[in-house]
Amino acid sequence: MTGKGKTPAKCSSSGRKQTEQKSAKRTDSHTPTQTKSTTWTPATAQGKTCGRGGRAKSPVQKVTSNPPAGSGKGARSKGQSPIRPAGGAERPRAKSPPPPSKPHIQRGSSKDDDLSRGLQKTLGQLTIRRDARSKAAKIKNEVVEKIKTHLERSRNFKDIETLPTGSYFENLKISNPDEFDVMFTTCVERVDVQPFGSDGAYYSVKFKRHPQKHVLDDFLTKDDVLCASSMMKQFRSEVKTAIKDIQIEGNLKMEPRKPKCPAVTLTLTVDKKEISIDIVLGIEVKGTWPLCAKDGMNIEKWLSKKVKRELKYKPYYLVPKHEGSANKEEDGVLAKDVWRISFSHVEKYIMKNHGKEKTCCEEKGPKCCRKQCLKLLKHLLSELKAKHETELSKFCSYHAKTTLLHACTERTEDSEWKLSDLHDCFQLLLQDFVACLRQRQLPNFFIPTHNLLGSVSAESCKKLADYIEHQRNNRFPIFQK
């Protein structure tokens, strides 16, 4: 610096260096400490985007996004929130290995476009041909109708009704129309339904003010408890008798009973192709849903409070299924005689009316990719199960469907599920599913206290999460075989 009021005629060399250093410091102070990455972040982070839509959240947890550890100025700052489950109670962070490194793929890049085209191609391969669908449905309807006619002449199932359920009737079936689910139901009135166990999914059924004569008398204990095991045994016997008299093209047979399975499985081989029909026995219960369903089906912001209220006026169903030892006893009732709650009819309604806007996916309305994402996830799970049969035997397509239902309650706008954003939306759904697997927590959509992964080992959950991450990081090679 020169004296006051004097202007230097020329700056020295050292003066220029000091000026340049100060200028560099000022420039550095305005440089961002961290550059946003365009790679897919884990589902435990907020701020995810679906295509050009808004923010997305995991259905199981809400977390403040943290930069990776050891990233200098971008390291974790003070005051950030720990992981919290949906109920709000703080839970320790699960110890899991860091996710594998992923290639840096910019949105809108040629690699991204190639992957989008690959997913569309996979969906095309999963589409069922209309003629194959029609032929298989006709055969199924014939078999079901003849079994129903036989049951109506029986002693215990005179009032039987049929309730179509499952992926075929929700337009979610993939590859081949080779599996059908049909529930054969009978209505029970004036019953006392009591929870069995603590998760809210299983119940004992006891008749109140029982009439002297009832078609289900043969299945009641001395305490008027309706025994699921004895009713299922008789139902299976009646179906076996019915199929002996069915004259139909192909070889129709009943599969051996599977432990804890509530279905009677029939297989029919026609033109060297096998069709499977799962016939599930169910009892229809009219009245208020169980108390543990009060906090479930959170569709208010998605499908509206009105729709939720209307759905809750519908009956619910109970199917003969238990978990754990068959001889476990609680309040004089054995586990083998309890029933598992089912809302399959409500699921079917939701999947058919899945848009926040009523015109979503209608003929002239905007198209979303909710169902396409679920089909891809179901296909991925099916392929992984075929490749790792022993390790992943406990997983089923219902885990995928429940993940989607939770995701729809978090990403409620149709604009967040644009068909043009299929790639992004599928990636987010995978992140949701992997987050559930890492925590080993996937709440039943209707009964939040029931963890659908509770009967699956932590090791199996970790294995599946790792397999899915491997597929994501390597552009789904399992789809390209």
Task: Classify residue 455 by its DSSP letter.
Answer: T
Q: Is the pLDDT of residue 70 over 50?
A: no
Residue with tokens 């040629």: 110
The DSSP secondary structure of 363-430, one letter per residue, reads TTSPPB-HHHHHHHHHHHHHHHHHHSTTTTTT--HHHHHHHHHHHHHHS--GGGGBGGGHHHHHHHHH
pLDDT at 210 (0 to 100): 63
Question: Per residue in 230-264, pLDDT tens?
Answer: 999 999 999 999 999 888 877 889 999 888 888 99
In whole angstroms, how large is the CA radius of gyration of the chain? 28
End-to-end CA distance of the chain: 74
Residue 119 or 137, more confident: 119
pLDDT recorded at residue 133: 72
What length does the chain have? 481
pLDDT given for residue 380 in this prediction = 96
Tell me how many helices (H) and strands (E) the chain has: 10, 15
Whole-number pLDDT of residue 170? 55
pTM: 0.76
Residue 439: closest CA among 64, 58, 75? 58
**Is there a contact between 478 and 383 (Cβ–Cβ < 8 Å)?**
yes
The answer to whether 344 and 398 have CB atoms below 8 angstroms apart is: no
More confident residue, 303 or 10: 303
Question: Token digits for 123?
Answer: 């969906």
**Residues 355, 363: Cα–Cα separation, whole Å:** 13
Distance of CA 7 to the CA centre of its chain: 76
pLDDT in tens, 330-353: 988 999 999 999 999 999 999 999
Is residue 468 very low, low, confident or very high in pLDDT (cuts 50, 70, 90)?
A: very high
Helix, strand, or coil (residue 248): coil
**Considering only CA atoms, which of 103, 89, 169 is closest in space to residue 133?**
169
Biggest CA-to-CA distance, the chain: 117
Q: Is the dihedral of CA 164, 454, 50, 414 positive or negative?
A: positive
Q: Which amino acid is present at 334?
A: L
Cα 160 from Cα 166, distance rounded (Å):
19
> Is 178 in contact with 274 (CB distance < 8 Å)?
yes
Which residues, listed in sequence order, are joined to residue 164 by a DSSP beta bridge? 182
Beta-carbon neighbour count of residue 5 at 10 Å?
Answer: 5
Query: Residues 146-193: pLDDT tens digits?
Result: 999 999 999 999 999 998 776 655 566 665 657 888 999 999 888 899
Question: Exposure string (b/e) for 132-144, b if CB count within 10 Å is 16 or more?
Answer: eeebbeebbeebb
The residue that leads in pLDDT, 113 or 281, is: 281
